[in-house]
A and B are shown apart, each in its own frame.
Chain A
Amino acid sequence: MKIIYLLLGLLSLTNILFAQGPPIYTDTPILLGLDGRGIRTFGKFISKENVNVYAQPLAVPINLGVDFQVGAIAPYMVISPKNKQSVSGFGDISVFAKYVFQQSDGPGKTIRTLIKFMETFPTGSTTKMPQIGSGVNQTYLGLVSGIINLKYALYGELGYSFVSDNTPDNFIYAASVGIPLLPQKYPPHQINIYFGFNGSYEFEVKKNVLYLSPGIQYIAGKKVLLETGVQLPVIEDVTSGFKTNYVFTFGLRVLLY
């Protein structure tokens, strides 16, 4: 059960990975940019009371059309409990699909909404302690929406994660606002700052987890984007010993061609 909290906490990480551009901690309804020809390296260091987790996902997003994307993700994880030996390996593999069903464009602005489906399979090892895998199937269905213009961008996500084996389901919610600090131009040379929150709520056991998620992003040209951020727990109804101190994220996105 404890590992479930860890893995569900990593859900926002998949949002980062599959986002085709900004923002950092929320998903985006814009399926542009990488077009399936990019590399993203993203590291996430999670500091908890009795354990540290480092996750480095490997992901393959493929655009099957301008409004349809599929992909798979396999996170490599290192879990280091205090006073115990570290365990590492690939965690649960996920496949996902996104479909943009609403798009409203204007000069310098766009409003888009997509539906997201993600299935996570219990492929991660559960034979060692601590477990790398969750041991359960997770089916996520969500809506991602964004209002993006030249002065600011608002992103939001609502979703529900159905978890197998009598493990509580999760309601997922996230929102963020991004503000560019430099004039918009192309090729891009931009610094964006983000403020947002990410949370999940278990209806059955009435447990809530909420993080504040500020971040900063530097777009160094057409093909390179650097970003970093921190997530700080505001509400965290989890088992004692697994409370989060902070989550530190750093990443690089590179378009190959």
Chain B
Amino acid sequence: MLKKNIYSLFIVILLSVYLFSMITNAQTEIDKSGKKYVRVDVDGLACPFCAYGLEKKLLGIDGADNFNANIDSAYATLTVPAKSKVTKDEIKQIVKDAGFSATEVLFSDQPFKK
């Protein structure tokens, strides 16, 4: 019985340590990166050569970086500083100024899955 309890306690401790390390690692990642991830769903992005104009406009946001466009799935991703105050409406306007239509803008502390 004692052996079983010790075994259970060991499992609980092990799981706790594992969960704690995962949470700590995730928080460290966010803190270290200091980034906010942005995903913009873009309509009208049918020409990869034209996406360069979109890249230029979006990277005009203060501190913006890591632009990428997924032409097949019709969205673009980028990062902005975690403290950036850029709003969804401002990003939609930037996309419009680039000649496209933004249907949705998402912010995240984690990179978006490709």
- Listed in ascending order, the chain A residues whose CB lies under 8 Å from chain B are 20-22, 30-33, 35, 66-67, 103, 105-110, 148-150, 153, 183-188, 190, 219, 222-223, 225, 255
In the complex where A22-B49, A184-B48 touch, is A31 in contact with B72 (Cβ < 8 A)? no
Contacts of A110 in B (CB 8 A): 43-46
- B residues near A32, Cβ cutoff 8 Å: 47, 50, 53, 98-99
Q: How far is the CA of A90 from the CA of B71 in the complex (A)?
A: 41
Contacts of A33 in B (CB 8 A): 47, 49-50, 52-53
* 8 interchain residue pairs of minimum CB distance: A105-B44, A188-B48, A107-B74, A105-B43, A186-B69, A110-B44, A32-B50, A184-B71
Q: Determine whether B36 belongs to the interface, using a CB cutoff of 8 Å to chain A.
A: no
Residue of chain A at shortest CB distance from B52: A222
Chain B positions within 8 Å of A148 at CB level: 46-47
Which residue of the partner chain B has the closest CB to A108?
Answer: B74
A105–B68 CA distance with the chains assembled, in angstroms: 20
**Residues of B within 8 Å of A, CB-based: how many?**
27
Of B44, B68, B71, most A-chain CB atoms within 10 Å: B44
* Given A31-B99, A108-B72: A190 in contact with B53 (beta carbons within 8 A): no
Whether the Cβ atoms of A186 and B99 lie closer than 8 Å is no
A13–B66 Cα gap in the complex (Å)?
Answer: 37
**In whole angstroms, how far apart are the Cα atoms of A66 and B51 in the complex?**
14
Q: Which residues of B contact A190 (CB under 8 A)?
A: 48-49
Given A35-B56, A108-B71: A20 and B50 interface contact (C-beta under 8 Å): yes
> How far does the alpha carbon of A33 sit from the alpha carbon of B97 in the complex, in Å?
13
B70 interfacial contact with A, CB 8 Å = yes
Could you say which residues of chain A place their CB within 8 Å of the CB of B49?
21-22, 33, 188, 190, 219, 222, 225
Name which residue of chain A comes closest to B57, CB basis.
Answer: A35
Contact check, A30 vs B74: say whether CB atoms are below 8 A apart.
no
Centre residue among B47, B48, B52, B71 by max chain A CB count within 10 A: B47
**Distance of A192 from chain B, by nearest CB (Å):** 9
Give, as a whole number of angstroms, the nearest-CB distance from B2 to chain A: 61
Residue among A35, A107, A110, A183 having the largest count of chain B Cβ atoms under 10 Å = A107
Q: Decide: A150 near B72, CB < 8 A? Known: A20-B50, A225-B49.
A: yes
Within residues 67 to 81 of chain B, which ones have a CB less than 8 A from any CB in chain A? 68-74
**A109 in contact with B44 given A33-B53, A35-B53, A255-B52 (CB within 8 Å):** yes
Q: In the complex, A150→B50 CA distance in Å?
A: 13
Does the CB pair A105–B101 fall under 8 Å? Answer: yes
B70 touches A186 (CB 8 A): yes
**B52, A185: Cβ atoms closer than 8 Å:** no
User: B107 an interface residue at 8 Å Cβ cutoff?
Assistant: no
Report B-chain residues with C-beta under 8 Å of the C-beta of A183.
72
Across the interface, A66 reaches (CB within 8 A) one of B71, B72, B73, B98, namely: B98
Q: A32-B50, A35-B53, A106-B44 are in contact. Are A66 and B99 (CB under 8 A)?
A: yes
Q: Of all chain B residues, which has the CB nearest A151?
A: B46
